[in-house]
Amino acid sequence: MAEPEWLTPVEHDAWMALAELLFRLPAGLESQLQRDADLAMADYMVLVMLSERDDHSMRMSELASSASTSQSRLSRIVARLEAAGYVTREMAPDDRRAVIATLTETGSAKLVAAAPGHVAQVRRLIFDRLTPAQVLSLTDIAGALAHPDDPASCDLST
Amino acid sequence: MAEPEWLTPVEHDAWMALAELLFRLPAGLESQLQRDADLAMADYMVLVMLSERDDHSMRMSELASSASTSQSRLSRIVARLEAAGYVTREMAPDDRRAVIATLTETGSAKLVAAAPGHVAQVRRLIFDRLTPAQVLSLTDIAGALAHPDDPASCDLST
DNA sequence: CCGAATTAGTTGACGCGTCAAATAAGTTAG
DNA sequence: CTAACTTATTTGACGCGTCAACTAATTCGG
């Protein structure tokens, strides 16, 4: 609260660079996936999160936070993926409010087909442009910034 | 092309952290601006870019690339900002295809009113969570990643 | 000069994400 | 037991961004 009201020049540069990244990088990743696999990044992430589970299943609410989206957005995404045959939805046996989304065989195949192109794009746009040291540094920085609403991670200066 | 097809574990961690950042940070910034100033980030950026010019004016196409958006998106943004009274549009005298957007007094005032809250949020979500060294590092990394379609910045390994 | 190609900007149709409200099923306190 | 609260998910309305098509002005080749 006693912080200065404006940014220092160094902070300003960092913020401008980050803002540009925030606008442009998603577009570059999105367009490859859309073009080659007809999937949005968020769709792809949802498929990935499901595929990483042994049973290829997850509750909607857990899936939403894994994929970093809102519940209502996830609901629409899964509805689309279900319509495309990539996932199924069923009531959870233990808690009848909950819904379990499950990746289908078709969905697995879709992911297997889409992954190489996407990974290549990630490599092109990100790792080909960074030194190994920068990759490590990026991991720390992104980890520190990835939870906007987490109060524990800020104001460590006391 | 001879690159490995998948990511190394270190790269995977970095990518996951960055992906989370890419999904969550914009939402955290966007919501404050929307709530307190009824502006989207992209709207705000457009106003900022105009305000940084001496004459508070810029061509649409230049404004689009400064604000890192597509032309058609910018066209809609400026239409909204014009309807709100924050900018005006007029034909360029030298090239009659071009349109010059100009920030109005009302638009300047809006920006002055919105800036402190936004800057505070940027500080909360970004700079309060990074060491000075990380801020420098972020500037370099974001600079390297901010131009997805720039062929000059990749594949320097030859 | 003239016609083809390029550049600048806008717009209609469409799909997606957000917000708030709705539904429904657990949970808790008296 | 039940009324109030919380949690899980969906959905209607609405605004925004994207894509492709369109208008119009400038430039380029011959």
Least confident of A137-151, B13-27, B54-68, B131-145: A137-151
Residues 6 or more apart whose Cβ sits within 8 Å of residue A144:
A153, B129, B130, B134
Nearest chain A Cα distance for residue B123, angstroms: 8
Task: Please check whether strand D approaches the CB of B79 to within 7 Å.
Answer: no
Banded model confidence at residue A4, pLDDT cuts 50, 70, 90: low
Residue-wise pLDDT for A128-141, tens only, equals: 999 999 999 999 99
What pLDDT sits at residue A6? 84
Q: How far apart are CA A60 and CA A79, in angstroms?
A: 11
What pLDDT sits at residue A128? 96
Nearest-by-Cβ selection for B17 from A132, A134, A146: A146
Q: Which domains does chain B have, with CATH numbers?
A: 30-114 (1.10.10.10)
Instruction: Tell me phi and psi for residue A68, to 5 degrees.
Output: 55, 45
- State percent of chain B over pLDDT 90: 88
Residue-wise pLDDT for B83-141, tens only, equals: 999 999 999 999 999 999 999 999 999 999 999 999 999 999 999 999 999 999 999 99
What pLDDT sits at residue B150? 65
Is the model's pLDDT at B38 over the cut of 70?
A: yes
Helix axes A9-37, B132-145, angle to 10 degrees: 40
Q: Find, among A3, A126, A134, the residue nearest to B123 by Cα.
A: A3
Q: In what order do the strands lie in the sheet with A87-91?
A: A57-59, A99-103, A87-91
Residue-wise pLDDT for A69-118, tens only, equals: 999 999 999 999 999 999 999 999 999 999 999 999 999 999 999 999 99
Partner-chain contact B139 A45, CB within 8 Å = no
- Rounded to the nearest integer, the mean pLDDT of chain A is 93
Give, in Å, how far the C1' of C17 lies from the CA of A72: 9
- Rounded to the nearest integer, the mean pLDDT of chain B is 93
